[in-house]
Amino acid sequence: MPHLVILYTPNLEAGADMTALCRALADTMLAARDETGKPVFPPGGTRVLAYPAAHYAVADGARDYAFVYLNLRMAAGRSAASKKDAGDALMEVAKRHFAALLAERFISITLQIDEAPGQVYDAKHGNIHPLFNTP
């Protein structure tokens, strides 16, 4: 936690640099600060994963529509303001990233943040977090 998963229609694969979008979104998460100036997301726990669909249908299928769904899952407990600010900042990155494409084709972008819904078990293991724990 937190991780942002992007599901999108494969008709965007050629025109949108999704690796660059992943990096820009991760950088935005890393830069997010709450009201007290503390990072909203832990650097070692920030991940963005993007998946083009193998098959899809959008709306009535009459045009070559594209769809990008961004879903950020994070633990509960952050302030309302830091959640709104983080969401707004991430959406702004997505808007900028797709601005040129939006001028020439049909795209819908949706960003939603979920606070670990229905979660009844949580465990972590690894060696990345300690790299970012400054003494």
- In the region spanning residues 27 to 46, those forming contacts with its own copies, defined by CB under 8 A, are 27, 30, 43-46
Residue 51, CA distances (Å) to 88, 89, 105, 121, 134 in order: 22, 21, 20, 25, 33
Binding of its own copies at residue 79 (CB under 8 A)?
no
| Cβ distance to its own copies smaller for residue 36 or 127 | 127
| Total residue count of the chain as it appears in this document | 135
Of the candidates 131, 134, 104, 129, the residue with the CA atom closest to the CA atom of residue 45:
129
Give the C-alpha separation, 129 to 45, whole Å. 7
Give the C-alpha separation, 125 to 78, whole Å. 23
Please report how close the Cβ of residue 10 comes to its own copies at its closest, in angstroms.
9
Please report how close the Cβ of residue 134 comes to its own copies at its closest, in angstroms.
13
Binding of its own copies at residue 102 (CB under 8 A)?
yes
Binding of its own copies at residue 126 (CB under 8 A)?
yes
Binding of its own copies at residue 117 (CB under 8 A)?
yes
| Cβ distance to its own copies smaller for residue 16 or 37 | 16
